[in-house]
Structure 1
């Protein structure tokens, strides 16, 4: 049985629309004598990450926890906070090809939502990157109170897009989120890079 044509697009933020240059974190780690990769490793540890992605703590509290975890390595809480603050000044970069695709899709009458596991800093980041007016809906896990790949997250996203799941195409760079979207009834594509855009255009036009 063929699926219904998608009339809405839900796009992940980090890893799809926003890219992070690993050299930035590496430079901060070198400057402070830290092991390469330690900032991301601590920040992404599930015990610290899950509460901020579901709105139980703020972005600032999350980063404070990262600084606390770094303090034993640096032997100085002030230096640990300074390292985290320097790291956090960089807010990533927008992939111009993906942004152009989103604009073209919206111009063709397809509703586009940003579907992201993010913190309460998301609105500030969108403003900083010039993305505030680029979406018909922004579905932030920390505002919803549940994160991808939970079914409830995707239900909230479809409601925000005012589109039934069978008519939503979701794009994400993580397998578990793609699988979660499919369980929730959405079409889903695992993002591998801008080379996927031709396929996505065809999927929305077919």
Structure 2
């Protein structure tokens, strides 16, 4: 039987932060772009990976996105700027879970693939003070699901991997966490919080 988790790593996007597609679609409609084309362009591996691994800044990443849009230079820059203006919303149920974990004395870290814009986003979303630690791929210079990310993250939180639970919405990250010795659980919503409470041995 696995040891009970003593610390929680929680992902930001898709778990603590959710995205309403409407504001992003509105930008694409305004500029005559195909639906989801901005996101698909931004997620192109050759520019997404270096942005997450701390090799380029968020501004440089977005500049590369703009160069790939089928618009003029000024329009492309404007479209990207408007698309980036929306920074998502906090998922209240995920935040309530984080607060419950911390109230029980378990440290909580946001462990996320992100750019150098992360800290400002967390401040704007009111999340900075809601966790004990922020572990960013941009700052570590390695991104999930690389084993080095989890190894360094566990060192930072001061726990052995077997004592850490990783909650993420990406199957690849969960597999990577488990391969690195952590417990891993794929987040699909708050319906499984009772199970996660047991993994963390929280009081009833």
- With normalisation by structure 2, the TM-score equals 0.97
State the shift of 1:197 in Å.
Answer: 1.3
2:65 maps to 1:69: no
2:104 maps to 1:105: no
C-alpha distance in structure 1 between counterparts of 2:185 and 2:85, whole Å: 31
2:75 to 75, 79, 84: 79
State the shift of 1:22 in Å.
Answer: 1.1
State the shift of 1:109 in Å.
Answer: 0.3
1:130 to 119, 126, 132: 126
C-alpha distance in structure 1 between counterparts of 2:87 and 2:194, whole Å: 28
C-alpha distance in structure 2 between counterparts of 1:159 and 1:91, whole Å: 30
**Residue in structure 1 matched with residue 47 of structure 2 by the alignment:** 48
SS in 2 for 1:41: helix
Counterpart mapping for 1:85-96 below 5 A: 85-96=81-92
Question: How many residues align structurally?
Answer: 202
C-alpha distance in structure 2 between counterparts of 1:132 and 1:174, whole Å: 23
2:115 maps to 1:119: yes
C-alpha distance in structure 1 between counterparts of 2:11 and 2:114, whole Å: 10
C-alpha distance in structure 2 between counterparts of 1:196 and 1:89, whole Å: 32
Runs of 4+ with >2 A deviation: none
SS in 2 for 1:133: helix
- Structure 2 residue ranges without an equivalent (≥5): none
2:180 maps to 1:184: yes
C-alpha distance in structure 1 between counterparts of 2:157 and 2:191, whole Å: 26
Residues 73-110 of structure 1, C-alpha deviations (whole Å, 9 max, x = no match): 12x10011000000000000000011011011101100
State the shift of 1:69 in Å.
Answer: 0.7
2:198 maps to 1:202: yes
**Residue in structure 1 matched with residue 14 of structure 2 by the alignment:** 15
- With normalisation by structure 1, the TM-score equals 0.96
C-alpha distance in structure 2 between counterparts of 1:150 and 1:178, whole Å: 11
2:160 maps to 1:168: no
- Structure 1 residue ranges without an equivalent (≥5): none
2:183 maps to 1:193: no
